[in-house]
Amino acid sequence: MNKLFPKGHRVKNIDKLIFPLLIFVVAFPFSLLAGGIGLLLYHKFYGQWFVVGGIAIFYLLLSSFLIYRLYQLFITKGRWFTKRRREYILWRFMIQNGFYYTKRIKGAKGSREKIKLPKVYLKQDKLTMSASFQLEGIKFQERFLKVGNQLETAFSADMMNQVNEGAYITFEYAIDAIRSRISAKDVRGTVKDGIKLAEGVTWNFIEDPHLLIAGGTGGGKTVLMRSLLVGLLRIGRVEIFDPKEADFVKLADLEVLRDRVTWTTETMAQRIIDAHDRMRARYAIMRERSNEKNETELGAFYKYDLEPDFILIDEFPSWVTELENLPRDSKIDAFKVMGDLKQIFLKGRQAGVFVIISTQNVKTDDLPSTLKDNIMFRITVGRVSGYTYQSVFGEANENKAFKYVQKVHGKKVFGRGYVAINGLPAKEFFAPLLPNSKIFNFYDDFKQLPRIEDIKQPVVKEVRYLQNDLITELSTDERMFKKIKGLLKESGVNFTGKDYSKKEKSLFVEVFDRKNNEEGTLKEIIAEVMLDFG
């Protein structure tokens, strides 16, 4: 059908019959049943019109109620019904906004007006739809260019894109997002494809590194983060910061997260420094393995058999505030910690180190610009403030009508929000659904997962220099070299072996340089050099 009608269903005036058609489809079985009941009553209660009338009235009321309830059910659950209903909504939108031409037609009984609609198409798939409007200089051209946001509200959809093809303007929408919801136990992923959070929603951390989650209390943020762990713990190393000491502390008892769940301010700060060191070590391993392969360019971490390394920081602004308020005698330097964290955001992608930040609301000063600009995947769940939407999703969504929804199809929902890649339009999102506790439990699931060990840092071989090579490089003779070596020994330098370290070489270089350029005895020069080198 898509090949025959690539733009979808053309909206025509006959679409005004869609609504009565849907009612007829639902009511038809009840009409047939009414005929059968009528014949039965005629033969069984002929002449007892009071009984017949009572039964008929009861059936009419009952069938009307059932028809109404079934109609409501079908237009929310039945795909054929929902598609036809959207076609009717678009027809009604065209008529009520005056997007039509009128032509007076003469007939035998006089003249009448005939309505004709311009070329407008509606194409619908399972989770997306698009509405195409003809341009080409028609009188509605300028107005058609601006209907995108109006249709977003009319269809309760999320506009994802706007394509101007010259002859047509096409608005693309995400629809029925709740149908894309998956269970938390089914959250899975790979390094190559990322973590699947819903049908059509995947966090590809290689292409879109780092993740920001914003969600109000009771909105489903914790379930979303635990659902993420279902996928992340299966493919990489995960470290969790829980400054509230509430949602993740018990996970510290599990082998897969042993020593990787922390909650005190100073410990979390030290773990950021450690993570920065791990990132540097990963780069050293990558360079070493790249050299072994004779590569001309350094690739990404997965090309060198390294697993991803994830750092989940819950209630990030709260932790930063506590970090900045550490006492002066603390061993932790807050500036170094934030500097190391920024380096992870800037350089972590290639090395496979990714940060997940969680917060309730995002104010302008909650996230340093370096961090915020480098968080490419953003999610909100539950009730958040208007400025949070603006801060999380940015200018690309400044005209979007974000809304908080408590119920969908009459049922209260948790974990509903929006998702977007930084700089692109946001769309409706339903976080993974928490399964029945009798079927699935996060703790039990994590308990059976194998632990991914830390990488072994490469052993850096110390460069040593032979005595003859040093004598040649210093342009001296063996007698003078040994004389200076003896004086350095007297000054406390402990030489080991017949070769020399990089620091020991630097001492010789500095002594000979000052000997050739300054006045004074060798003992005086060596005393000054030793003082400078500490």
Q: What are phi and psi of 278, to 5 degrees?
A: -65, -40
Q: Are 76 and 61 in contact (CB under 8 A)?
A: no
Considering only residues 240 and 22, tell me which one the structure prediction assigns the higher pLDDT: 240
Q: Does residue 15 register a pLDDT over 80?
A: yes
Residue type (1 letter), 424: L
Mean pLDDT value of segment 203-227: 89
**Residues 6+ away with beta carbon under 8 Å from 87:** 9, 11, 15, 18, 122
224-227 contacts at long range (C-beta below 8 A, 24 or more positions apart)? 224/197, 224/379, 224/381, 224/415, 224/431, 224/432, 225/312, 225/314, 225/356, 225/358, 226/184, 226/442, 227/184, 227/187, 227/197, 227/431, 227/432
* pLDDT score recorded for residue 161: 79
Q: How confident is the model at residue 48 (pLDDT cuts 50, 70, 90)?
A: low
* pLDDT score recorded for residue 371: 84
Q: How confident is the model at residue 45 (pLDDT cuts 50, 70, 90)?
A: low
pTM for the predicted model, two decimal places: 0.70
* pLDDT score recorded for residue 188: 92
* pLDDT score recorded for residue 458: 57
Q: How confident is the model at residue 218 (pLDDT cuts 50, 70, 90)?
A: confident
Q: Does residue 363 register a pLDDT over 60?
A: yes
Structural element, H or E, at residue 453: none
Mean pLDDT value of segment 45-50: 63
Structure letter (DSSP) for residue 433: B
Mean pLDDT value of segment 459-475: 78
Q: Does residue 164 register a pLDDT over 90?
A: no
When mean pLDDT is compared across 59-63, 116-120, 129-133, 141-145, the lowest value belongs to: 59-63
pLDDT in tens, 408-438: 766 777 888 899 998 888 888 889 988 888 8
* pLDDT score recorded for residue 379: 93
Q: Does residue 8 register a pLDDT over 70?
A: yes
Q: What are phi and psi of 29, to 5 degrees?
A: -60, -35
Tokens, residue 4: 């025959």
**For the chain, what is the mean pLDDT?**
84
Q: Are 170 and 134 in contact (CB under 8 A)?
A: no
pLDDT in tens, 249-263: 888 889 899 989 998
Helix spans in 426-501 (H) = 442-447, 467-474, 478-490
Mean pLDDT value of segment 306-334: 86
Q: Does residue 162 register a pLDDT over 60?
A: yes
Mean pLDDT value of segment 331-339: 84
When mean pLDDT is compared across 210-214, 215-219, 503-507, the lowest value belongs to: 215-219
**pLDDT above 70 as % of the chain:** 93
Structure letter (DSSP) for residue 306: -
Rounded Cα distance between 243 and 314, Å, is 7
Rounded Cα distance between 218 and 378, Å, is 19
